[in-house]
Amino acid sequence: MSPTSADPPPASAPAAQGVDAAGVHALLDALEAAGDIEPHSLMILRHGRVVAAGWWAPYTPARPHLLYSLSKSFTVTAAALAEAEGLIDFDAPVISHFPEFAADVTDPRSRAMRVRHLASMASGHDRDTVDAAYRRDPAEPVRGFLLIPPDRDPGTLFAYNQPNTYTLGAVVQRVTGQSLTDYLRPRLLDPLGIGPTGWVRDRTGREIGFSGLYAPTDAVARLGALYFADGVHKGRRLLPEGWAARASRPHIATAGALGEDHPDWDQGYGHHFWISRHGYRGDGAYGQFCLVLPEHGAVIAATSATERMQDYLDLVWRHLLPALHPAPLTGRDAEDAALRDRLARLSLPPAPGRPVPPERAADWAGAVFAPAGGTCADQPTLTGAQVTAAADGGWTLTLTDRGEPLSLRLPDTAWTVTEEPVPTAVSGGWTGPGTLTADVLFLETPHRLRLTCSLANRTFTASWATRPLPPTRLRRLRCPG
């Protein structure tokens, strides 16, 4: 994958922008010490300049990363651009964009649903209806969604409901005659200097809007910086004036919607941006963040792998916010240099293991393993594994997933990176005479698979640290196209 841009965002020493490097160190320390957070990347911008940027190897700056629901913030940006071009009216009934469904969609609440309700997760449904919509009409999920009567009047109830974004994205793709990516490319992505991206499509051929966007961390940072600047980039207005404020104010109350202990999800929902205790944000499953902090002059872009997203935000508020000062700091050259050096050396610790069997190597060569217990509970489509010895003295672990082989070179260093057929990094090795353990990072996603093979039983187990949503074949855990 080529670099994201030949025109990187301007950089600055942290102290020159009033950022105390000690606070960034404290955040890095906390992220790396949290056993349930696996950081992949972090970019911090202050006053429009990059003051800190780092990737935990084997993750790298140019590589795209699955953003999950952070994709929604790009989808609603496309809707805002379409509105500015007179193609969408946020107050228009959703059904007006799909007249071929009008005879079937008779529920008055469904017919009263407006485009703005889609953008604010306020269709009136009290739950996520994505599975029901695809079941109702697999060939046209928009029709399936509109045939599910809302539980309340649109605009009166928040529910994090994927078909809201799917339908909003479908409206954009219908009125523009283009995919979301093709529509955004000349209007947003190219002007911002965002390079190649990929977006998952469903069986209709649409980019799904609510998830599935693969983009580098740099792209997330650029989007956040654009919203921070009210849609102006290098003196050129890319977003409608006032749209950033409109998208980032609460349109619907969310208190208690995600249960207890989620204070940053209780502050309200804008147009596909969450209101936070500090500023606002787009976010995606397992810790993909675009934090915009107008009161602090800062933007934070991050990718990670964690189910403890509130914990991640708590660490940012606790360690980074106190490091943001109103004026430049002086005499901090050594501290800034030390931070720069640390950011350049970030890496994820590899799984333990020896690169060759400690003994009985001949027994391992060609050994075939079946799922323990007859099935692989955490990755049920895996049906087999085989270990083979290479002529150069290395070893390969080949997994069979729905009949498709995926060969993984076992590491002779910390991480072995392979690009095809899917970008992976493998660590681990033999942890005993009869046990092989390997961790597999799917490098364009927040997903890590741990496999353990037992020579005595000729069985293996596999478990996800974060489970792909929805479950999919291993070979599909990569940027489309």
Q: Please indicate, yes or no, whether residues 252 and 390 belong to a single structural domain of this protein.
A: no
Q: Please indicate, yes or no, whether residues 330 and 202 belong to a single structural domain of this protein.
A: yes
Residue 351 lies in a domain: no
Task: Give residue 360's pLDDT.
Answer: 83
pLDDT, tens digit, 9 for 90 and up, residues 175-210: 999 999 999 999 999 999 999 999 999 999 999 999
Q: Helix 71-84 vs helix 162-176: angle between axes, to the nearest 10 degrees? A: 40
Residue 124 lies in a domain: no
Q: Where are the alpha helices (DSSP H) in 405-479?
A: none
Pairwise CA distance, residues 121 & 108, whole Å = 18
Q: Please indicate, yes or no, whether residues 285 and 391 belong to a single structural domain of this protein.
A: no
Residue 180 lies in a domain: yes
Range of the domain at 381: 361-476
Residue 458 lies in a domain: yes
User: Could you tell me how far CA 90 lies from the centroid of its own chain?
Assistant: 27
Give me the number of domains the chain comprises.
2
Task: Give residue 98's pLDDT.
Answer: 97
Q: Which residues pair with 461 in a beta bridge?
A: 452
Q: Please indicate, yes or no, whether residues 299 and 418 belong to a single structural domain of this protein.
A: no
Task: Give residue 4's pLDDT.
Answer: 44
Tell me which amino acid residue 342 is.
Answer: R
Tell me which amino acid residue 312 is.
Answer: Y
Q: Please indicate, yes or no, whether residues 338 and 424 belong to a single structural domain of this protein.
A: no
Task: Give residue 259's pLDDT.
Answer: 75
Q: Please indicate, yes or no, whether residues 470 and 373 belong to a single structural domain of this protein.
A: yes
Q: Please indicate, yes or no, whether residues 265 and 326 belong to a single structural domain of this protein.
A: yes
Question: Helix, strand, or coil here: 119?
Answer: helix
Residue 454 lies in a domain: yes
Q: Please indicate, yes or no, whether residues 339 and 386 belong to a single structural domain of this protein.
A: no
Question: Helix, strand, or coil here: 410?
Answer: coil
Task: Give residue 6's pLDDT.
Answer: 52
Q: Which helix (H) or strand (E) holds 258?
A: none
Tens digit of pLDDT at every position of the chain (481 positions): 333 445 778 999 999 999 999 999 999 999 999 999 999 999 999 999 999 999 999 999 999 999 999 999 999 999 999 999 999 999 999 999 999 999 999 999 999 999 999 999 999 999 999 999 999 999 999 999 999 999 999 999 999 999 999 999 999 999 999 999 999 999 999 999 999 999 999 999 999 999 999 999 999 999 999 999 999 999 999 999 999 999 999 999 999 877 778 999 999 999 999 999 999 999 999 999 999 999 999 999 999 999 999 999 999 999 999 999 999 999 999 999 999 999 999 999 999 999 999 888 899 999 999 999 888 878 888 999 999 998 888 999 999 999 999 999 999 889 999 999 999 999 999 998 899 999 999 999 999 999 999 999 999 999 999 999 999 999 999 999 8
CA within 13 Å, CB half, 347: 10
Q: Please indicate, yes or no, whether residues 322 and 436 belong to a single structural domain of this protein.
A: no
CATH number, position 226: 3.40.710.10
Q: Please indicate, yes or no, whether residues 404 and 318 belong to a single structural domain of this protein.
A: no
Q: Please indicate, yes or no, whether residues 396 and 317 belong to a single structural domain of this protein.
A: no
Residues in the chain: 481
Q: Which residues pair with 232 in a beta bridge?
A: 237
What is the pTM (predicted TM-score) of this model? 0.96
Q: Please indicate, yes or no, whether residues 314 and 456 belong to a single structural domain of this protein.
A: no
Residue 149 lies in a domain: no
Residue 436 lies in a domain: yes
Residue 122 lies in a domain: no
Pairwise CA distance, residues 74 & 271, whole Å = 11
Domain boundary among 344, 377, 400: 344
- Between the two ends of the chain, the Cα-to-Cα distance in Å is 11
pLDDT, tens digit, 9 for 90 and up, residues 344-402: 999 999 999 999 998 888 999 999 999 998 888 788 889 999 999 988 889 999 999 99
